[in-house]
Structure 1
Amino acid sequence: MAKTKNQKQKKSQSTGNKPSKFIYWIIGIVVVCIAGLVILANLPEKGFDFDYENQPVLGEESASVSIVEFGDYRCPVCKNFNESFFPVVKENLIDTGKAKFYYMNYPFIHADSTTSALFAETVYSELGNDIFWKFHDSIFANQPDNETEETYTEEFLKERLKDAGATDEDITRVTEAFQTQTAKDSLQKDLDYVNQLNITGTPTIYVNGVKFEGSSYNELLDMVNEAAEK
């Protein structure tokens, strides 16, 4: 009888310990989960995976940081960015070999926006990178003050191409390609990025695929330096 009693006592003690062991087990899981969340929170932010091939670019190929601007040729803020903000970026980040700079299109403001974006894509496709950037600057330099007036006619764009140093033969080549929309897939590639990233305005900047949320050059510089260290 004594033996049976001892067995019952042991069984009772074993059963009584189960709730406390269960609580410790739950606490352990919670601690592991919290630790996991802390680790995830401190991981570097993964940027969007842009395909930079066949995109207009400034800077050295070896630069570890890629800056992307989504712009609209009829956007007054983009004009201001191109004429005031960008020269500082070029001098201190692009020309020093720290970053590469890409321009992608988000034409949404005006009918001129799409016309000029497609024409610019055609210029890049037909005449290459160097003339593209000169053409790019000439469009912004000649952006009209009236935001509603349709100004970017084919003749206007051909004049901007002439500003960029294109020959009459070059202009004819680009015009014919523009009329047959040979570069529409290149423009669509930019628009696909706009949709995937839910971009709602211009200029919108990305640094190594991560959206720039600041508003000053120093903030952009900090972001570029941080990206370069990763």
Structure 2
Amino acid sequence: MTLSRRTFAGLGAAALSAAAFGAAVRPALSQESGGSPDKLLMPGPLGEHVLGEASAPVTIVEYASLTCGHCANFHEHTFPELKKRYIDTGKVRFIFREFPLDQPQGVPLATAGFALANCAPEGTYFDVVGLLFEKLDVWAASPNPANALFDLVKQVGFTQESFRECLTNQEVLDGVTAVRNRAHTEFGVSSTPTFFINGKMVRGAMSIDEMAELIDPLLKS
């Protein structure tokens, strides 16, 4: 799938039902077996996006979509405390992976956002992801999401040329899609956010207290 600014140009807000739906109802929290931990920790074609120490006793893998309101809410309200309490203290290694939820016949907004995060200057992947989550209502609901996206990512160094090149970089776009497809076929991911905490699947956004209930026993074992 090739993206371009022209692909975005005629898009209206009505075509963005995925973003609107994502903010409507918080999914019920559920826990399941997540398959082989070793297989889960194998990186995808675009490399791994990691925060925290490799030696941390707990590893959390999150699959998220940039057009998912629950994911945005998690990263705005829960993630800062998770980072402060567990990641920055060496207790948790956090791996973030792309699971874009785009309409089959619609413009792949989440895929485009993830492509831009992967094309961003070195060390700014999480800055771009955080910015797009924070401004989800701005760019995903815009009548011209291409312009809205560019206005945001130029803050981290994108030019018109690098923006256009990224959104037509088939290797990057295919890499994002491959991460999503592998998550679905090999690990059973079907919704966002989905977490794997030391290999155990947990579906649905969590508060910091809910995460602590799952993390703290692993730190004592």
Instruction: Please indicate the TM-score interval, normalised by the length of the shorter structure.
Output: 0.5 to 0.7
Is 2:148 the counterpart of 1:156?
yes
Query: Is residue 102–residue 111 contact of structure 2 (8 Å, CA) maintained in 1?
Result: no
Which AA in structure 1 matches 2:60?
A: I
Number of positions where the alignment pairs a residue of Structure 1 with one of Structure 2: 180
Which AA in structure 1 matches 2:91?
A: K
Query: Is residue 68–residue 101 contact of structure 1 (8 Å, CA) maintained in 2?
Result: yes
Query: Is residue 122–residue 178 contact of structure 1 (8 Å, CA) maintained in 2?
Result: yes
Which AA in structure 2 matches 1:222?
A: E
Q: Say which of 178, 188, 201 aligns to 1:211.
A: 201
Which AA in structure 2 matches 1:92?
A: R
After TM superposition, the structure 1 stretch with the greater mean CA deviation from structure 2, 184-193 or 211-220, is: 211-220
Structure 1: which 5+ residue stretches go unaligned?
1-44
Quick check: which has more Rg, 1 or 2?
1
Q: Which has the higher contact order (CA 8 A, sep 6+)?
A: 2
TM-superposition CA deviations, 1:33-92 (whole Å, max 9, x none): xxxxxxxxxxxx964622136121222233232211111111111111110111111111
Is 2:170 the counterpart of 1:181?
yes
Equivalent residues in 2 for 1:1-230, closer than 5 Å: 47=37, 49-50=39-40, 51-52=42-43, 54-110=47-103, 111=106, 114-125=108-119, 127-128=121-122, 130-144=123-137, 149=141, 153-163=145-155, 165-166=156-157, 168=159, 172-191=161-180, 192-212=182-202, 215-228=206-219
Query: Is residue 67–residue 207 contact of structure 1 (8 Å, CA) maintained in 2?
Result: yes
Instruction: Report the CA distance between 1:141 and its aligned residue.
Output: 1.4
Task: Give percent identity, aligned residues only.
Answer: 22
Calculate the aligned-residue CA RMSD, in Å.
Answer: 3.0
TM-superposition CA deviations, 1:77-114 (whole Å, max 9, x none): 111111011111111111111112122122225445x3
So what's the TM-score if we normalise by structure 1?
0.65
Cα distance in 2 for residues equivalent to 1:151 and 1:78: 22
Distance 1:137-1:152 versus aligned 2 partners, 3 A rule = farther
Q: Describe the SS at the equivalent of 1:93.
A: helix
Distance 1:213-1:177 versus aligned 2 partners, 3 A rule = closer
Question: Match of 1:12?
Answer: none
Distance 1:48-1:219 versus aligned 2 partners, 3 A rule = farther
Q: Describe the SS at the equivalent of 1:62.
A: coil
Q: Describe the SS at the equivalent of 1:69.
A: strand
Cα distance in 1 for residues equivalent to 2:218 and 2:209: 14
So what's the TM-score if we normalise by structure 2?
0.67
Query: Is residue 204–residue 212 contact of structure 1 (8 Å, CA) maintained in 2?
Result: yes
Which AA in structure 2 matches 1:182?
A: E
Which AA in structure 2 matches 1:121?
A: A
Structure 2: which 5+ residue stretches go unaligned?
1-34
Cα distance in 1 for residues equivalent to 2:48 and 2:144: 22
Cα distance in 2 for residues equivalent to 1:67 and 1:159: 32
